[in-house]
Amino acid sequence: MAKLFLDHKNIWHEIDAFYFYVLCERKADGYHMVGYFSKEKESIEFNLSCIMVLPAWQTNGYGKFLIDFSYQLSLIEGKTGSPEKPLSFFGHRAYVSYWTNRILNTLLDNQHTQLSID
């Protein structure tokens, strides 16, 4: 069995302090975990603690999906937040890709509308 290591994360709390959101892909032979993110239950500052997409699925947009899901949960909770720092190299790449995509889509969808940074 292979072991997975997250180089940039240390856990200082029991896992009871976190919610874990696991993303699975459904195939003919069942469900397969493709990634997850965790979120501290009591955090008012961070909407995401750790995110991981397994290597075989990293180019399928699942990282962006998990990031967007974390923000959608924050909207439901009425909270603002950001990911816990420091971001790993891959975490940083995922967030840059996510926000680039969001901003470009917003600009394209509102070409004939005056936009504000607010």
CA distances from 11 to 20, 40, 78, 100 (A): 14, 11, 26, 30
DSSP 8-state code for residue 87: P
**Tens-of-pLDDT digits for all 118 residues of the chain?**
444 455 555 556 678 889 999 999 999 999 999 999 999 998 888 999 989 999 999 889 999 999 999 999 999 999 888 998 888 888 899 999 999 999 999 889 988 888 777 7
Q: What is the pLDDT of residue 8?
A: 53
Report the distance separating Cα 61 and Cα 38, nearest Å. 18
Q: Is 84 one of the annotated active-site residues of the chain?
A: yes
Catalytic residue among 25, 40, 77, 84: 84
Q: What is the pLDDT of residue 43?
A: 86
Q: What is the pLDDT of residue 53?
A: 93
Token digits of residue 83:
């990911």
- The fold of the 17-108 domain, in CATH, is Aminopeptidase (3.40.630)
